[in-house]
Structure 1
Amino acid sequence: MRSADLDAPGLKVRHNKDGTARLYWVARADIRKQGYEPETVRLHYNLDDPRERALIEAACRKLQAEMFAWRAGHRQSRRPFDGTIASLIRLYQTDEASPYFGLKHNTRETYDQVLRVIDRAFGKRSLANLTHADFHRWYDEAQKPRQPGGPERTRKAHGIMSMLRRLFTYGIAAEHAGCSRLSGILNAIRFKQPKRRRIRMERHHVEAFIPKAIEAGRLSLALGTALQFETGMRQKDVIGEWEPHEARSEIGGIMLKGKRGRRMLRWVNGLTWADLASGTVLVKETTKTGAMVAHDLSLFPMTMDLLARTPAEAKIGPLIVDEAAGRPYAKDAYAREWRVIARAAGIPDHVWNMDARAGAITEAEDAGADLDAIRSSIGHTQASTTSRYSRGALGKSRQVAQLRQAHRAARNEP
């Protein structure tokens, strides 16, 4: 059966690697540009099953009618809750009162990935028919290794359960039937959590990385890594990020076209040469907590050496610029190019660029720095957060051992 044989406006068919078809309704391009959402809707039907062809046609005609109604000005109407997980997901992502709209754009993108997994796997399930056994079974299935003998995917499984909790919490506030009962069930279940990351970048990694980056013509990667390791700043606070910019009439700053050119992106939050205009003192408002951090870069020799290598005429605009593109690194490009240099420098693949922050904190504690002082210097609001980044530090352990030895000596004990 071909999709062209159906009276299903907006129907698009995509194929998996095994040849199986995935069905989507896709909004018209000109109406999408006007801001219509959702742009696509997954249809959980079988194109080859004659019994489901009428359902495909009905779903597409209904979605098409809603799209045209929106274009005609009926923009406050939302499709009602039909009792399924897919419907709850749709409302969570489109209801203006949903906490979804209070998320940062990158967090929203991460949530969208998990929501797509849930929609594909359980979207057709009715909330009224779900029990605790379903959640346990879903968790166990999601946790299974990708390949026999591989590691369990606990992080993925736990993430799915956490997202279901968010969905049901939203559903309670929106007074959707069944959400309160399921939220209570999930709150009574404890799923195995993923292990905390224990890897850190060490100074010898950075010292091996920098010359390889310079040799490859990637001074930007060398400088970014040195800043991350010596100051303990997050990658995002050093290199910046691209966020959607909807107000096309107010285009300014450093802009980039998004995927398929549908929206503009603006570069924000990264370090600029203007941040160093007063000399070597760097003051920055962190993106995650809004805390202000200050660093005297003259105390960081690796960073100062790399800053000195930058030509005077290049010291304008963003501090970290992709040499190949002539602008800040696009999403994921920094980590991808960093890994190329890291492998050339002999840095194991299990050490990631983001581990520079943990390396900075661990080295500081090893040196005997007070935990609260470390917390303040890197912009954490709570010392408990800082302690989670300290991975295998011996500083406090040495101090305790020395105090115990001094105490024994004072009491003339061996």
Structure 2
Amino acid sequence: MPSDFTAPGLKRRRNRDGTIRLIWVARADLVLRGYVPKTVRLHYSIDDPGDRRLIEAACSRLQAEMLAWACGSQNDLRSHDGSIASLVRLYQTDPASPYRDLKWNTRRTYDQVLRTIEKAFGMRSLAALGIRDLRRWYDEAKKPKQAGGQERIRKAHGIVSMMRRLLGYGVMAELPECGRLARILDEARFKQPGRRKAKLELHHVEAFIKAAVAAGRPSLALGTALQFETTMRQRDVIGEWRKDAPNGGGIVLRGRYWTGGLTWSHISDDLLMVKETTKTGADVGHDLKLTPLVIKLLCQIPADRRVGPVIVDEIAGRPYAEHAYAREWRIIARAAGVPDRIWNMDARAGGISEADEAGADLDAIRSAAGHSQSSTTLRYVRGTIGKSQKVARMRTAHRNKR
């Protein structure tokens, strides 16, 4: 490596296939103070003399932005160089940005999209952009992964939506060109992904429970039964691992605290369950004695094991690690004959749809699901004719009266 090569913050990481990837890494002490991004992937080759100058430039820019933030200059928007990458960085680091008010898991999702944007066209100047560029990016992003595959409209629309957020922030921060581009996107229309139509139905759940118990995974059986019978979100049943758990926690895994999941303290001796939902903070209550799938599984759990989290990974002896629940669930689902197009999250839609099919009042379903608005509940009603049957019967009764 030439002696004049200067790339502050540059680190090398080895991929599984033995190749080397380059990453700029922020100072650990500043990350602890809240600086983001923590890392930035650099898509260059250190063996290419031409790429070395680009690596130096990228690392120097990222290092300068980090040090400016550390010196209290994060409010100085004059550091904006007019590029999309610079806009992304300001959106993530400016204390006045709406990004700072997002929940941790929403930030994580946003960061994934922001990395895609920065990698694909971060060096583009805002002044040089127009609708043709935005349309071309959308069209490229929606192309199938493989020839003949499905278009990735959800991914493409997510990029456009994130560009709207970035430009909206830029307008608030009075950054050049953001107002012009925001007005363009206000008028532009891009095809949106369709709503999910899949749902986990009763016969799926029954087959899954049987397969899970046979495989020695009663935790997966109980978790799925709870999601389907109570229409609770997966997160409210199995919990999640957070670095910034509000009250800390007694269960820690790689620096993250387990929080938000269902514990035995939420369930009374007479099997009444009351829990605050993680998304809206609404309290939901269920009489588990009226949930046949759940009660059958609960009866198999000895009293001395009814302490702490309800759903515990049998192998690890603690709540499921991030992504492990979904991964293990899919293994059992395939063994039970549940199609891959149906996900664990579709248990909530399945339970709500079954309630609609049974003719339950919409507001009662809304309350049971912990939704604040009935319009949200309606989005989970998939492929049922419960309400239309009720309307038809009422119309017939009305005609007979006449």
TM-score by length of 2: 0.91
Q: Quick check: 1:44–1:124 contact (8 Å CA) kept in 2? A: no
Q: Is the aligned partner of 1:253 residue 2:250? A: yes
Q: Does the 8 Å contact 1:3/1:13 carry over to 2? A: no
Residue matched to 2:102 = 103
Given that residues 169 and 179 in structure 1 are in contact (C-alpha distance below 8 angstroms), is that contact kept between their aligned partners in structure 2? yes
| RMSD of equivalent CA atoms | 2.7
Alignment of 1:174-213 (within 5 A): 174-213=173-212
List per-residue Cα deviations over 1:136-168 (Å, max 9, x = no partner).
111111111111111111100000000000011
Q: Per the alignment, do residues 213 and 408 of structure 1 end up closer, same or farther by CA in structure 2, a change over 3 Å counting?
A: same
Structure 1 residue 6 displacement after superposition: 2.2
The alignment status of 1:282 with 2:302, answered yes or no, reads: no
List runs of 5+ in structure 1 lacking aligned partners.
Answer: 258-263
The percentage of counterpart residues that share the same residue type is 63
Alignment of 1:11-410 (within 5 A): 11-12=10-11, 23-28=22-27, 37-43=36-42, 47=46, 50=49, 53-61=52-60, 63-64=62-63, 74-77=71-74, 80-245=79-244, 252-257=249-254, 264-410=255-401
Amino acid in the other structure paired with 2:182: S
Counterpart residue identity of residue 142, structure 2: Q
Q: Name the CA shift for 1:130/1:3 in 2 (closer, same or farther; >3 Å).
A: farther
SS of residue paired to 2:80: coil
**Contact 1:240–1:271 under 8 Å retained in 2:** yes
CA distance in 2 between counterparts of 1:393 and 1:58 reads: 57
Alpha-carbon displacement from aligned partner over 1:350-390 (angstroms, at most 9, x marks no partner)? 11111111111111011110111111111111111111110
SS at match of 2:257: strand
Cα offsets for 1:78-112 (capped at 9, x unmatched)? 67111100001111111122111211111111111
Q: Deviations over 1:229-270 (max 9, x none)?
A: 0111111111111111389xx85421111xxxxxx2111111
Whole-Å separation in 2 of the counterparts to 1:63 and 1:385: 41
Q: What is the count of residue pairs matched by the alignment? A: 400
Distance 1:395 1:59, change over 3 A: closer
Contact kept, 8 Å, 1:10 with 1:25, in 2: the verdict is yes
Q: CA deviation at 1:216?
A: 1.3
Unmatched segments (≥5 aa) in structure 2: none
CA spacing shift, 1:77–1:110, aligned 2, 3 Å: closer
Q: CA deviation at 1:59?
A: 4.2
Change (3 A) 1:167 1:16: farther
CA distance in 2, matches of 1:149, 1:55: 36
Give the partner amino acid of 2:150: P
Structure 1 residues 139-148 or 41-50, which shifts more?
Answer: 41-50
CA contact under 8 A between 1:242 and 1:331: conserved in structure 2?
Answer: yes
C-alpha separation in 2, matches of 1:227 and 1:94: 40
Asked if the contact 1:364–1:374 (Cα under 8 Å) also holds between the matched residues in 2, the reply is yes
State the 1:317 CA deviation.
0.3
Contact between 2:142 and 2:156, CA under 8 Å: does it hold in 1?
Answer: yes
